[in-house]
Structure 1
């Protein structure tokens, strides 16, 4: 299952949002059907429908879930400075952590490769280092309270560490 889908499912569980999971077989090309492309022309998962609203990309879905269903604003602060830090880490996850992990999983899952180029491993290792740097000064990725950015990064890290092992140091 895609880390992005898992992040959204975790958020639904945290915010007690009932949802219907609709399996999409990427290897079979179900994300390329006309029906799916109407929901997401980028042909990616996840896609969330809430009434007449359709949102794709976990980094857009997570803030929506937190704002709409969160009991308070601790997961996605209303304070603009705190929210900016959460947004910064969501973007970091999208363009660095997830992108680098996807480079590896794409070659394994969708292209059937059995070896990973060292450069791709080095890219993921560098992303680990960035995360460690962020966590050296705060308890969580975007501050001293857990946020939706932690959910997003956790979902990717728990997937990619099955392929690229973390150094215990």
Structure 2
């Protein structure tokens, strides 16, 4: 089995669930039957003919289990949780508890995933190819982030310990990793939001400080790397894809 994932974004989603599945006895990369490969979105590797044979959408992450190929983070996490029978709390067997996880994941795809990735494009990826995102788009995105955080705190977290109930689930992994993207470029998402801040602490405490540090170190250093101009310049063939992504920022 092999997993190809993007570098610097959402890695803890995968390593976290696998590490916990074996009681923290080792990261997924050390499993003899599991191969983890990391691709940079800006490297152009996912646009190659070889990668097209794996995923014609030319996006990461991708899971390959024998002849079975699966894309999309949430689908991959669910598949891994079911196939390897991870602890029940990740993807509950109880129908209603599982439905809560799916409820969040559906909302996450609509309201969190695209919205919280924009600051990275504004401050790092856009400038990397000489593109400045218009200020009005930046302000609209800030407003959208604030609204999404309000919904996240009031609708999904509420008075619970975690987003889908009283135990940590895949929903919490997906949410935390997406929120780390604007945090990495200086957004103080948790300031003035004590319930969300406490939720983050609980999730990170459950995963363990060492795992979170390892998973987040690359993305949290990306702004510094950009300032020092140590980030690799994307090859020209990926410019059209990057420009299209920037153009789609509402």
TM > 0.5 between the two? yes
Q: CA shift at 1:162, angstroms?
A: 2.2
CA gap of 1:23–1:161, structure 2 versus 1, over 3 A, is same
- SS of residue in 2 equivalent to 1:161: helix
Q: Which runs of 5+ in 1 are unaligned?
A: none
**1:94 matched residue in structure 2:** 109
Which is higher, the Rg of structure 1 or of structure 2?
2
**1:106 matched residue in structure 2:** 121
Q: CA shift at 1:15, angstroms?
A: 2.1
Deviations 1:96-133 (A, max 9, x none): 11110123323444322566611111111211111111
* More divergent stretch after superposition (132-141 vs 12-21): 12-21
- SS of residue in 1 equivalent to 2:146: helix
| Contact kept in structure 1, 2:62 and 2:71, CA below 8 Å | yes
4+ residue segments displaced more than 4 Å:
113-116
User: How far apart, CA to CA, are the structure 2 residues paired with 1:65 and 1:148?
Assistant: 11
| Contact kept in structure 2, 1:2 and 1:45, CA below 8 Å | no
Q: 2:16 aligns with which of 6, 10, 19?
A: 10
| Contact kept in structure 2, 1:5 and 1:58, CA below 8 Å | no
Q: State the TM-score, normalizing by the size of structure 1.
A: 0.87
The answer on 1:54 being equivalent to 2:75 is: no
Aligned length in residues:
169
User: How far apart, CA to CA, are the structure 1 residues paired with 2:56 and 2:118?
Assistant: 21
Q: Which runs of 5+ in 2 are unaligned?
A: 1-6, 23-27, 194-250
Q: State the TM-score, normalizing by the size of structure 2.
A: 0.61
User: How far apart, CA to CA, are the structure 1 residues paired with 2:67 and 2:100?
Assistant: 30
